[in-house]
Amino acid sequence: MGCGDAGMEAAEQVIRAGLLRLGGAMLGELLAAGNGYRGPRVPCGQGHEAAFASYRDKSFDTALGLVTVARAWYHCAECKHGLAPRDAELGVARTSMSPGLAAMNDLAAAAGPFAGAARLLEELAGIRLTAKRVERAAEASGTAVAEAGRDRAALIAARRLVPLPPSPLPDKLYAVIDGTGVPMTSRETAGREGKSADGRARTREVKLAVFFTRDKLDADGYPVRDRDSTSVIATFEPAATFGRMVRAEGIRRGAEHVRQFTIIGDGAAWIWGIASAKYPAATQIVDLYHAREHLHSLTRSLEFMLPDHKEEWLAARLEDLDYGCIDGIEAAVRRYPLEGVKKDEVDKELGYFLNNAPRMRYHWFRSRGLFVGSGVVEARCKTVVGQRLKQAGMHWTIEGADAIIALRCREASSTWEAICNTPHTQTRTA
């Protein structure tokens, strides 16, 4: 080529731009082969017939640039509405983005802020879209994904869609359930009580469940998560609705067939309410890392009684916890007679352990090869939401956040879906 690095980069850009134009022209010709004419009349969708009116142009953005097609346009005299059957076939009804570009846009918008996503699409794919268009298209896709998820859950709950057990059947299936706040616009939190200084809510809670299998043990005897085994569901809906989603996802993941189904949570009552109601036979475990955090906070409230041996005291209690010896923790706390506010504070901290004692038999759980929680999985539960929706200065509407979370859940679940959610694993009853 006879040019330096700078010349090479310029050449790459010019050639790619040329190829995109060429590709766009080819796509346009390909699409021109069909004109969308379906005879003089077509159903309008509302029970009437729409009459052929004319051929009309429609332009939409594609992964290869702007493409314009001329397609048959029908008009319904009764609805006073027009339609082009071709648009639905091409996947561009009520949108000006092709399905291929929409998929690229979903990926970019799920990964980062809309302005950054627009820049990414321009830099990497040579497609120029405004941040607003990136946002609108991603929200439309995400809303459709969320609706499809809810529909699927309803069909499974009604046993109209019957997922077959996964094959090969895993021995152990886990669901980590968690809730996390998403910063909202003031309109979305109006009239809601919150934890901020003025008592107003700034966030709305999204509930998540991460399902995965973790069958094998490593050389040290710790369970290892199976690759490509994760699926994630999330919603802003109340616990009752979320519970039905957890039930449906559990059925889809084979919770009714595996030998050992375990539900892991941070200790919040609503999580155990769902676990007990939907999967009474499942083992319930309080995430060990959350329990440890609570032990640190219990130690802080007792600090004034432990002037010179706070560290040793905490270390001994962490050991109690690792053995699931909640009695030991209680006995160690009760050695310090407290009164008034301090007693209430310590009782509350201790209550967390007493209420959850059966869910903290860590030594026994581990001896059965069970996973008892980890920062990594917990982080994953939160990163689905946090990394994208909790950045500085972000304020969401419920619809917008719900859509983007749906895209991120789909992304996090994509490998499992690709492997296991083939048409042969789900059967629809008549």
Which stretches of the chain bind Zn ion, using CB under 5 A? Answer: 44, 46, 48, 76, 78-79
Cα radius of gyration rounded to whole Å, the chain: 28
CB of 98: closest distance to Zn ion in angstroms? 27
Largest CA distance in the chain: 91
> What distance in Å separates the CA atoms of residue 72 and residue 55, rounded to the nearest whole number?
4
**E-state strands within 119-222:** 161-163, 172-183, 203-213, 216-217
Sheet holding 81-83, edge to edge: 41-43, 49-62, 65-76, 81-83
State which residue, 45 or 358, has the beta carbon closest to Zn ion: 45
CB of 69: closest distance to Zn ion in angstroms? 24
State which residue, 53 or 115, has the beta carbon closest to Zn ion: 53
CB of 73: closest distance to Zn ion in angstroms? 14
Token pair of 243, please? Answer: 């519970």
State which residue, 52 or 270, has the beta carbon closest to Zn ion: 52
CB of 45: closest distance to Zn ion in angstroms? 7
State which residue, 49 or 319, has the beta carbon closest to Zn ion: 49
Q: What stretch of H or E contains 13?
A: helix 5-32
Task: Count CA atoms within 13 Å of residue 399 on its CB side.
Answer: 9
State which residue, 75 or 382, has the beta carbon closest to Zn ion: 75
State which residue, 79 or 332, has the beta carbon closest to Zn ion: 79
Cis before 337? omega within 30: no
Helix (H, G, I), strand (E, B) or coil at 219: coil
Q: How many C-beta atoms surround the C-beta of residue 3 within 10 A? A: 10
CB of 77: closest distance to Zn ion in angstroms? 8
State which residue, 48 or 395, has the beta carbon closest to Zn ion: 48
CB of 55: closest distance to Zn ion in angstroms? 20
Helix (H, G, I), strand (E, B) or coil at 268: coil
CB of 84: closest distance to Zn ion in angstroms? 14
CB of 48: closest distance to Zn ion in angstroms? 4
CB of 282: closest distance to Zn ion in angstroms? 51
Torsion angle of C-alpha atoms 408, 412, 416, 417, degrees rounded to 10 = 10
Closest CA to 23 of 98, 87, 91, 86: 98
State which residue, 84 or 233, has the beta carbon closest to Zn ion: 84
State which residue, 46 or 130, has the beta carbon closest to Zn ion: 46
Kind of pairing, strands 81-83 and 203-213? Answer: unpaired
> What distance in Å separates the CA atoms of residue 24 and residue 64, rounded to the nearest whole number?
5
Q: Is 381 left (phi over 0), alpha (psi -120 to 50) or beta?
A: alpha
How remote is the C-alpha of 410 from its chain's centroid?
Answer: 6
